[in-house]
Amino acid sequence: MNRADLRLAGLSAGYRGRAALADVSATIPAGRITAVLGHNGSGKSTLLAALAGVLKPLAGTIERPGIRRTAFVVQHSAVPATLPITVRDTVAMGRWAHLGPWRRPRRTDRAVVEECLARMDIADLADRRLDTLSGGQRQRALLAQALAQEADLLLLDEPTTGLDAEARQRITDLLEDVVERGVTVVHATHQRDEALRGSHCLLLENGRLLAEGDPESTLALGSAPRSRC
């Protein structure tokens, strides 16, 4: 099925009835990388949660034509550091939606898990516990889990925060590879240089959309936030 662009119309969302995102109307192009740029508290995470369907909008609509499955990757720091699970088991969790209740993984599921481990270059870490990994390794494990879902829409909440230059480059390369396979990618960031690597950009401030379009033009129209690494 051909996927069309995602469209937000008058979207407001938040927590406990209080809007953290207000009256956002925007287009997210299918099969491309869209960066959601803004300071902490600008509404980036709220927007991703609404797109993922884990947060019900307070107002407005989200049109997601052709999107059958969505993968949502949180920051590695949001995962409990003491979670007693191996890397392979973490990635295998991405196959649960394909299995249904009480079904055991099939040969094809195990093959997908191994492929995703290899794509993220963490096959040698497969039997390690998640809580023994560095931040960059843990983030790659979470990304491999997302890839295992074989989603049409990949959402990432500041995936490179706190990572070194090599780890950031690995993730950038992965996103480009994912898009080449037809997946729509949306990632939140507070860094201008990361937004410029995408093909589309939404600039948020205080829960409102300041500008959208190609990254260079969008950042020229709005007051681009500074890096806070």
pLDDT digits (tens, 9 = 90+) for 45-97: 999 999 999 999 999 999 999 899 999 998 765 566 666 899 999 999 998 87
The domain ranges of the chain are 32-53+68-221
CATH 3.40.50.300 fits 32-53+68-221, yes or no: yes
pLDDT at 74: 82
- pLDDT level of residue 174 (50, 70, 90 thresholds): confident
Instruction: List, edge to edge, every strand of the sheet that includes 59-63.
Output: 18-28, 6-15, 59-63
Gyration radius from the chain CA atoms: 17
User: What is the torsional sign of CA 18, 79, 32, 93?
Assistant: negative
Q: Which residues pair with 11 in a beta bridge?
A: 24
* Nearest by Cα to 153 from 36, 73, 38: 73
Angle between the N-to-C axes of helices 165-180 and 135-148, in degrees from 0 to 180, rounded to the nearest 10: 10
φ, ψ for residue 163, nearest 5 deg = -100, 155
pLDDT at 136: 84
pLDDT at 162: 78
Chain centroid, CA 124 distance in Å: 24
Q: Which residue has the higher pLDDT, 148 or 160?
A: 148
* Nearest by Cα to 96 from 115, 114, 113: 113
100 CB-near residues (< 8 Å, 6+ apart)? none
Taking the C-alpha atoms of residue 147 and residue 226, their distance in angstroms, rounded to an integer, is 30
The CB density around residue 26, as the number of other CB atoms within 10 Å, is 20
Q: Which residues pair with 186 in a beta bridge?
A: 34, 155
pLDDT digits (tens, 9 = 90+) for 176-213: 989 998 999 999 999 898 999 999 999 999 999 999 99
Q: What is the DSSP letter of 133?
A: S
